[in-house]
């Protein structure tokens, strides 16, 4: 039997993910070991997040039409913040459709337990890495208890809907992610489901393409955009993830904290209470365009300024419509003050989230010579949710609190300890 290092490298190379050096990461045969309680909490968060996104589609549609009471006007401005032109005419249609078929939640491990960094119901990337980590886990820990897996759960739920073929259309600017899309397609094929992967420049309308994973943010094929907008409006194509870019906005977490959504009957109180219990306080910054005088959301002498005076690491400024570390500024960064100024003069395009203390985890990895080493790593758990169920987890780990995918990161799976 080959050693773990050789087996891990073989799986990675066979996947094709390392075809480009930009996709490289530090190989590891380790997994993150979750307790049964943590696994239960992750499923609880996944279920509540799915229901929240589904319900917010209805809230957004009502706010867009004009809610005659409560914070309707404010909600419409927030849902419309950063909305791409290609989706403006369709994102509020059919609010009674199910929530996103495939989405992700980023979690942090803290001394107080799991905490939500982000709920992203629009960006479907990362599932290929989760599938790769599952392949490594299955090879090295065949008897371990784990989540069901993105591929098996997707295949099961698609067959339940009578879908055996669908299309993943990617934007030209997403070519970087083609290797992981290819992993998804190959593994789904082994489950009897065909996922066609096609770029926007190669895409042409076809009667054979009636089911799409989603409607990505295209910018190089205006004919494709026009076709998909009309076809969705005419109900002649289906998006498994309905085209709602605001599902990927961090403003949603701000709404959990800043608006009494359950008071107005927008969402069940148990959904909001559950998500708030796992989410650091998050504030939406900005003002409506028509407001000439800049509105200080938290005030010059508000709680975050007072806290900064004695704890310079207490807040994180995040662009509402971004992924990874893009648009993220920590409060100890010299650029933070300018970032706050920009955020407060903008139109709901940034949120301010309380920073949490992260708990480093002891994890093993292979050095360049194939020797196994051990160190303390900060981790981000990306939970991929399929049809409302936590399907699997890809763990990104770095020896720095700014955790994101990089060549100095680990990409590993997770198991549930007995």
Give a three-class secondary structure readout of the chain.
Answer: CCCHHHHHHHHHHHHCHHHCHHHCCECCCCEEEECHHHHHHHHHHHHHHHHHHHHHHHHHHHHHHCCCCCCHHHHHHHHHCCCCHHHCCCCCCCCCCCCCCEEEEEEEEECCEEEEEEEECCCCCCHHHHHHHHHHHHHHCCCCECCCCHHHHHHHHHHHCCCCEEEEEECHHHHHHHHHHHHHHHHHHHCCCEEEEEECCCCCCCCCCCEECCCCCCCCCHHHHHHHHHHHHCCCCEECCCCCHHHHCCHHHHHHHHCCCCCCCCCCHHHHHHHHHHCCCEEEECCCCCCCCCCCCCCCCCHHHHHHHHCCCCEEEEECCCCCCCCEEECCCCCHHHHHHHHHHCCCCEEEEECCCCCCEEEEEECCCCCEEEEEEEEEEEEEEECCEEEEEEEEEECCCCCCCCCCCEEEEEEECC
Summarize pLDDT for 231-278 with one digit per residue, the tens. 999 999 999 999 999 999 999 998 888 765 654 567 888 998 999 999
Residue-level pLDDT at 292: 43
Residue-level pLDDT at 302: 55
Summarize the confidence of residues 127-151 as an average pLDDT.
Answer: 95
Residue-level pLDDT at 310: 63
Q: For residue 99, give both structure tokens.
A: 């929530």
Q: With 60 as the cut, is the pLDDT of residue 156 above it?
A: yes
Confidence of residue 346 (pLDDT cuts 50, 70, 90): confident
Domains of the chain: 4-248+360-416 (no CATH), 281-354 (3.30.1490)
Residue-level pLDDT at 325: 67
pTM for the whole structure: 0.92
Q: With 70 as the cut, is the pLDDT of residue 158 above it?
A: yes
Summarize pLDDT for 363-408 with one digit per residue, the tens. 999 999 999 999 999 999 999 999 999 999 999 999 998 888 889 9
Residue-level pLDDT at 69: 58
Summarize pLDDT for 4-31 with one digit per residue, the tens. 999 999 999 999 888 777 789 999 999 9
Share of the chain above pLDDT 70, in %: 90
Share of the chain above pLDDT 90, in %: 64
Taking CA atoms, 180 is separated from 15, 124, 346, 403, in Å, by: 8, 11, 35, 20
Summarize pLDDT for 270-302 with one digit per residue, the tens. 998 999 999 999 988 887 654 444 444 433 445
Residue-level pLDDT at 300: 42
Residue-level pLDDT at 168: 97
Please give the mean pLDDT across all residues of the chain.
89
Which of 68-72, 130-134, 147-151 is least confident? 68-72
């Amino acid at each position: 039997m080959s050693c773990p290092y050789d087996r891990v490298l073989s799986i990675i190379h066979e996947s094709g993910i390392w075809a480009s050096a930009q996709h490289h990461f530090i190989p590891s045969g380790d997994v993150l070991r979750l307790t049964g309680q943590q696994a239960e909490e992750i499923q609880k968060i996944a279920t509540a997040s799915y229901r929240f996104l589904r319900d917010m589609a209805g809230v957004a549609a009502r706010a867009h039409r004009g809610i005659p009471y409560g914070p309707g006007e404010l909600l419409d401005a927030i849902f419309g913040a950063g909305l791409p032109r290609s989706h403006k005419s369709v994102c509020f249609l059919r609010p009674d459709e199910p929530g996103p078929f495939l989405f992700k939640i980023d979690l942090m491990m803290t001394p107080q337990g799991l905490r939500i960094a982000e709920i992203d119901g629009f960006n479907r990337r990362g599932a290929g890495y989760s599938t790769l980590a599952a392949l490594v886990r299955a090879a090295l820990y065949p008897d371990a208890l784990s989540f069901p897996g993105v591929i098996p759960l997707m295949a099961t739920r698609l067959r339940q809907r009578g879908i055996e073929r669908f299309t993943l259309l990617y934007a030209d600017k997403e070519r970087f992610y083609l290797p992981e899309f290819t992993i998804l397609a190959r593994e789904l094929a082994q489950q009897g489901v065909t996922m066609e992967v096609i770029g926007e420049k190669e895409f042409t309308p076809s009667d054979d393409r009636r089911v799409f994973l989603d409607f990505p943010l295209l910018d190089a094929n205006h004919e494709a955009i026009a076709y998909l907008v009309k076809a969705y409006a005419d109900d002649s194509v289906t998006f498994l993830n309905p085209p709602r870019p605001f599902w990927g906005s961090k403003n949603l977490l701000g709404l959990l904290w800043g608006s009494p959504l359950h008071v107005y009957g927008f969402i069940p109180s148990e959904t909001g209470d559950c998500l708030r219990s796992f989410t650091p306080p998050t504030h939406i910054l900005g003002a409506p365009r028509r407001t000439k005088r800049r509105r200080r959301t938290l005030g010059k002498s508000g709680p975050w300024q007072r806290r900064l005076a004695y704890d310079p690491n207490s807040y994180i400024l995040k662009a509402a419509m971004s992924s990874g570390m893009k648009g993220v500024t920590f409060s100890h960064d010299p650029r933070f003050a300018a970032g706050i100024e920009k955020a407060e003069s903008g139109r709901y395009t940034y949120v301010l989230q309380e920073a949490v203390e992260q708990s480093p985890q002891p994890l093993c990895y292979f050095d360049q010579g194939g020797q196994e080493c051990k160190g303390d790593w900060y981790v981000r758990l990306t939970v991929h949710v399929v049809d409302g169920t936590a399907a699997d987890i890809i763990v990104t780990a770095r020896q720095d609190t700014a955790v994101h995918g990089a060549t100095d990161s680990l990409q590993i799976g997770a198991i549930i300890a007995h």
